[in-house]
């Protein structure tokens, strides 16, 4: 947690911001508030506010929650971009070798189309959530190249014209900037990244192609590795269009103060950037001070993207604590998103609005 700003300053700033936003929005709070969402007069959504800056504001989602009507009402109204949390990953799309199933991804694409939202494809090449047929045997380099190329091109062709961007290779580096020892790296070497980008581009020359990872928001060894790789790939003419910074942040580890500088240095390479999986977790239980700091961080993350022309948008990793992945993976942590488990707006929501309104 940053010590450069006092809790008093944070609370005063948030109180003023919330009052301004609530008054401008006509939001009714207290007894008149409805379960799941405050009763309010028509006000711009997060998406509409982001569009004023030439950005999108999106949310991840997953197939099981599309049956939750109060949830989908907010999802379809508040955001203009959707990322499937799991439905486009390898285990879901090619459960048997050469047998493809795009039903889960298609369901989310259809939801997005019905609500005039664009879709980010996630993800083609990742070391996790792979089917057993792929991980349960040894491959020669020529065999795995053929398997990888077919998977990438079949999926990209299926979604051609339906997604605006792909996270082509996800989480390729370790924290120290060395290559992650994945099945792809071990068998094919680092060239698998360039090949994956080329194959995706062949399958859909118009879609934007990204590398995506966590803990690369700040300048450091891991983000330096991506900067070097991106520079090399661009020099070689490899079709790389952007870097996705996941931004899974945690209050106890401190805010990435060099985020804006980091976004700018990738922009100078001629690349777009995006904040692709934003959530800001805390050690439970949540309290007023933690929620105020979380709100400040959400505002700062949003402002950092708005400050850099080639940062194209922000996506939160689902919008509600009800469907957050955090509690299942980080024991004793949670409360990471701008809506709580009852679909009520938290201070973070109003801080995001403040950033989008006042920037």
132 with 76: CB under 8 angstroms?
no
Find the catalytic residue in 155, 171, 260, 303: 171
278 with 247: CB under 8 angstroms?
yes
Residue 232 annotated among the catalytic residues of the structure: no
For 166-205, the three-class secondary structure string (H helix, E strand, C coil) is: EEEEECCECCCCCECCCHHHHHHCCHHHHHHHHHHHHHCC
Partner residues linked to 96 by β-bridges: 99
Find the catalytic residue in 94, 155, 217, 277: 277
The DSSP code sequence of 321-350 is GGG-SHHHHSTTEE--SSB-TTSPBPHHHH
Q: How many CB atoms lie under 10 A from the CB of residue 269?
A: 16
Residue 296 annotated among the catalytic residues of the structure: no
What angle, rounded to 10 degrees, do the helices at 69-78 and 103-114 form? 60
Q: Annotated active-site positions, please?
A: 171, 277
């Amino acid at each position: 947690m940053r010590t450069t700003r006092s809790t008093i300053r944070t609370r005063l700033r948030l109180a003023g911001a919330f009052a301004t936003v609530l008054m401008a929005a006509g939001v009714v709070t207290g007894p008149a508030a409805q379960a799941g969402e405050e009763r309010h007069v028509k006000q711009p959504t997060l998406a509409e506010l982001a569009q004023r800056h030439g950005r999108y504001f999106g949310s991840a989602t997953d197939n099981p929650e599309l049956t939750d009507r109060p949830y989908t009402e907010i999802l379809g109204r508040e955001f203009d971009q959707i990322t499937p949390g799991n439905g486009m990953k390898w285990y879901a799309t090619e459960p048997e070798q050469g047998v493809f199933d795009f039903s889960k991804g298609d369901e989310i694409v259809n939801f997005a189309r019905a609500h005039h939202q664009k879709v980010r494809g996630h993800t083609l090449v990742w070391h996790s959530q792979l089917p057993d047929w792929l991980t349960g045997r040894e491959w020669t380099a020529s065999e795995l190249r053929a398997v990888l190329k077919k998977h990438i091109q079949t999926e990209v062709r299926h979604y051609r014209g339906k997604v605006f961007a792909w996270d082509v290779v996800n989480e390729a580096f370790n924290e120290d900037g060395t290559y992650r020892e994945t099945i792809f790296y071990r068998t094919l070497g680092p060239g698998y990244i360039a090949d994956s980008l080329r194959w995706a581009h062949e399958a859909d020359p118009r879609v934007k192609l990204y590398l995506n990872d966590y803990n690369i928001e700040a300048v450091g060894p891991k983000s330096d590795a991506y900067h070097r790789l991106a520079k090399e790939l661009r020099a070689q003419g490899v079709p790389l269009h952007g870097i996705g910074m996941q931004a899974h942040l945690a209050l106890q580890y401190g805010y990435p103060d060099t985020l804006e500088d980091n976004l700018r240095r990738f922009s100078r390479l001629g690349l777009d950037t995006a904040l692709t999986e934003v959530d800001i977790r805390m050690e439970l239980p949540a309290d007023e001070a933690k929620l105020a700091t979380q709100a400040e961080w959400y505002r700062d993350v949003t402002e950092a993207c708005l400050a850099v022309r080639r940062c194209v948008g922000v996506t939160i990793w689902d919008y509600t604590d009800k469907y957050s992945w955090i509690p299942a993976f980080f024991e004793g942590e949670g409360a990471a998103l701008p809506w709580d488990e009852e679909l009520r707006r938290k201070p973070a929501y109003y801080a995001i609005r403040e950033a989008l309104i006042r920037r």
